């Protein structure tokens, strides 16, 4: 990989315009009050670097990673991930970037973890035999080998998060975007998952990772650097120790 940044955001802004309610429509307005989620956010991430995006609820963390994952279009500014503009994206972009959705609804709950992973492997273009091999290896790696054939709905929250990580690693991406990977886990489950993330996922040589979290422990455990967002603006960009000191976290 060259020395060019793996992720670059320049003046990123996002304004949501929710559909109007009936009352506003009757007054001739089709959109409700605009909601500013991000304002002029600029930063870059070097290849192999692990960055934690922190901030209170509603700070714009999920909006930022969704934009970087190509799932949401910015209202202003631009971003490049792996050298590709996120707004144009395409298959090449998604082969290099994986977005690990923390939402546990993102799998088919009536089929097994293995069947779910096979389907996503097909969406990554893997032939059936390769999909089976890769899924089995990843299920072992995330500690779900014994539970691979249980239905997804029977999984605990931690198991669901691990399956989401396995899905994110199907294509062995250069850039991994994780949206609150330990959200909703009990302290022990969160600690185990953080250890797993550090040792098996984000610290893979050459892999760049951006992890959204509002947990300073997570930032200290995983990140080289922390971006602190508040009210959609970038308030601080520093190593985890300094963020804790500066913001009193």
- 124 near other proteins (CB under 8 A): yes
Q: Are 41 and 13 in contact, with CB atoms under 8 Å apart?
A: yes
CB-count exposure of residue 245 (10 Å: 0-12, 13-18, 19+):
exposed
Q: Total binding residues for other proteins by CB under 8 A?
A: 46
Q: Kind and range of the H or E element at 100?
A: strand 97-100
Q: Does 73 bind other proteins (CB under 8 A)?
A: yes
Q: Which stretch binds other proteins (CB under 8 A): 68-76, 190-198, 206-214, 226-234?
A: 68-76
Q: Judged by CB under 8 A, does residue 167 bind other proteins?
A: yes
Full 3-state SS string of 29-53: CCECCCEEEEEEEEEEECCCCEEEE
C-alpha span between 18 and 22 (Å, rounded): 12
Pick 110 or 242: Cβ nearer other proteins: 110
Q: Cβ contacts of residue 220 below 8 Å, gap of 6+?
A: 240, 241, 244
| Footprint on residues 82-111 left by other proteins (CB under 8 A) | 91-92, 94-95, 98-99, 101, 103-111
112 counts as binding other proteins under rule CB under 8 A: yes
Measured distance CA(178)–CA(66) in Å, rounded: 10
- Measured from the CB of residue 94, what is the shortest distance to other proteins in angstroms? 4
Q: Which of 13, 70, 181, 232 binds other proteins (CB under 8 A)?
A: 70
Q: How far apart are CA 164 and CA 181, in angstroms?
A: 9
CB of 171 to other proteins, least distance (A): 7
34 belongs to the binding site for other proteins (CB under 8 A): no
Residue 63 binds other proteins (CB under 8 A): yes
Beta bridge partners of 15: 36
Q: 228 - beta bridge partners? A: 54, 236
Catalog residues that contact other proteins under the rule CB under 8 A: 16-19, 63, 66, 69-73, 75, 91-92, 94-95, 98-99, 101, 103-112, 115-116, 118-128, 131, 151, 167, 171
């Amino acid at each position: 990989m060259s020395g060019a940044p793996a992720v670059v955001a320049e003046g990123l802004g996002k304004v949501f315009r929710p559909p109007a309610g009936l009352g506003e429509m009757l007054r001739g307005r089709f959109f409700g009050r605009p909601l500013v989620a991000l304002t002029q956010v600029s930063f870059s991430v070097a290849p192999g670097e692990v960055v934690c995006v922190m901030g209170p609820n509603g700070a714009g963390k999920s909006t930022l990673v969704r934009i970087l994952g190509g799932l949401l279009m910015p209202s202003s500014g631009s971003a490049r991930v792996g050298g590709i503009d996120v707004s144009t994206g395409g298959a090449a972009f998604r082969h290099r970037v994986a977005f690990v959705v923390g939402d546990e609804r993102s799998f088919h709950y009536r089929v097994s973890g293995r069947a779910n992973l096979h389907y996503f492997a097909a969406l990554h273009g893997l032939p059936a035999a390769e999909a089976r091999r890769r899924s089995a290896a990843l299920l072992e790696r995330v500690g779900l080998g014994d539970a691979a054939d249980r239905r997804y709905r029977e999984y605990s929250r931690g198991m669901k998060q691990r399956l989401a990580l396995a899905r994110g690693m199907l294509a062995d991406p250069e850039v991994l975007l994780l949206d609150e990977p330990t959200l909703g886990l009990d302290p022990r489950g969160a600690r185990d998952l953080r250890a797993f993330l550090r040792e098996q996922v984000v610290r893979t040589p050459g892999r760049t990772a951006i992890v959204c979290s509002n947990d300073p422990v997570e930032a200290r455990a995983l990140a080289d650097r922390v971006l602190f967002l508040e009210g959609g603006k970038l308030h601080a960009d520093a190593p985890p120790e300094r963020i804790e000191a500066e913001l009193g976290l």
